[in-house]
Amino acid sequence: MTADPVVVAARRSPIATRGRRLSGVAVDALAAPVIRAAVDDGFDALGERRTLGDVVFGNCMGPGGNTARVAALAAGLGVQVPGMTIDRQCGSGLAAVIEAATALKAGDHRPRIAGGVESASTAPVRSIDGVGYDRAPFTPAGFPDPEMPRAADDLAAALGIDRERQDAYAALSHRRAVTAALRGAFDAEVLPFAVFGAGGDRAAGTSPAGVVDDAVGSVTERGLPRFPPLFENGTVTAGNSCRVSDGAAGVFLVPGDDRRSAPGLALRAHATVGCDPAHPGLGAAPAIAAALDRAGADLAAVAAFEIVEAFAAQLLAVLGRLGLDDADPRVCTDGGALALGHPWGASGAVSVVRLFSRLVRGGAPAGTLGVAAASVGGGMGVAAVFEVVR
C-alpha cells in the first residue's frame, strides 16, 4: 500500500483586504506565482525535478472555467500538466489538498500541487435574466440558507456567546498575528507583493510597519467595543468578523514512500461532514472529531490547530463543541483569519501552509500532530490530521 502523502513545500501570497493591494490581480494571476513557488520549493526539497501529475485548486467566486488549469499554464508548468478547480466554499483549499492526496494514495506517484485562491476584488457579478445576485443558494427551498454573518449571529445567540467574548477573541487573534509577523513567523511562507505586480501603497490602514497581511492589527481591544452590531440586538460586528480578502496558497505533495529525506507533513486522516445548514459555523467541530477518530488520536495529542476563523462567534462555538478553551494556545497560535483575512477559496489551504510553518519550519519533532479545519456554508465541515515526518 502507498504510504500516506506528504506535504514537502508550502507557500502563500500576502492576504489583502478586498479593494486593496491585490485588487487588480485576476484570480489566475494570483494563483500562478504561488503554484510556481510551491513547485520550485518542492523540487528543491526532493533534490530533483519530476513530472507533475495535476494542479488541484479551490475557488468559490471566480469567473468560471477552470482556474487551476489557467493558473498552471500561467505558472509555466507546461501543457502536459492538467488542472482541476473545486468548490467547497470556505473549505475549498483544504478539500483540494485532500483530493490531491487521495490521488497519490491511490497509486499515481506523480507529485501534485494543491491549494486555493480567491480574488474577491475581481469576482464577477452574477445574474439570471439580468437580475444580479451575490451567491448561489447553499441549500434548496425548504432548508435554512442564512448569509454567513446572520448565521454567525444566530449561532452566538443560540449558544450564549456574548459580545465581550467575541471581541476578546478577535483582539487575541490580532495580537497573536502582530507578534508573529514582527518576529518573522510568516517570512518563509509569504511571497512579496511585487511578485504579483502589486506595487505602491494601497494597503492604507492601521497595520504596524513590517506587517504584510494588511488586516493584521487593524483592530484593537480598545477599539472593538466601538463597532456597531451588524444586526439589531445582535453581537456580531465588523470588528469580530473576518475581512473579505484576496489571496492564494499552495502546497507540494508527494507519496510518503517517495519523498527521499525531505521533511514534511504526512496526511494521516481526513473527514468531511454535514451539519445543520442553519448553523453552518459549527461544521468544523464534528469534522475534527471524525478525522481524529480515523487517525486514532484525540484532542490532547494535537500540538497545533489551524481552524478558519470566519467569525469570532463561529470559532468560539467550534472550540466550545470540542471542549477547548477560548484561548487555547494551540489554536491559530500566530493569529487566524480574523486577523489575516479570509480569501474564501484559499483559506483552507492557508491553514495547511500555516501548519507547515509552525511544525515543519518550526522544528517540531517527527510524530507531532497538527489539524487543519474549516466550517463551510450550507452546513458542512472539513478537517485533516497531519503528522510531522523527518
Q: Are strands 245-254 and 16-17 parallel, antiparallel or unpaired?
A: antiparallel
By CB atoms closer than 10 A (0-12, 13-18, 19+), residue 259 is buried
Asked if 87 contacts 280 with a C-beta cutoff of 8 angstroms, the reply is no
The answer to whether residue 342 is catalytic is yes
Distance CA 244, CA 241 (A): 9
| Of 90, 242, 275, 332, catalytic | 90
Contact (Cβ atoms closer than 8 angstroms) between residue 351 and residue 308? yes
Which amino acid belongs to residue 86? I
Give the whole-angstrom CA distance, residue 56 versus residue 112: 8
How far is residue 265's CA from residue 321's CA, in Å, rounded to a whole number?
A: 26
User: Is the separation of the CB atoms in 47 and 18 below 8 Å?
Assistant: no
Place of cell 489571496: 247
Active-site residue, from 174, 270, 279, 342 = 342
User: Which residue has cell 470556505?
Assistant: 90
* Residues designated as active site: 90, 342
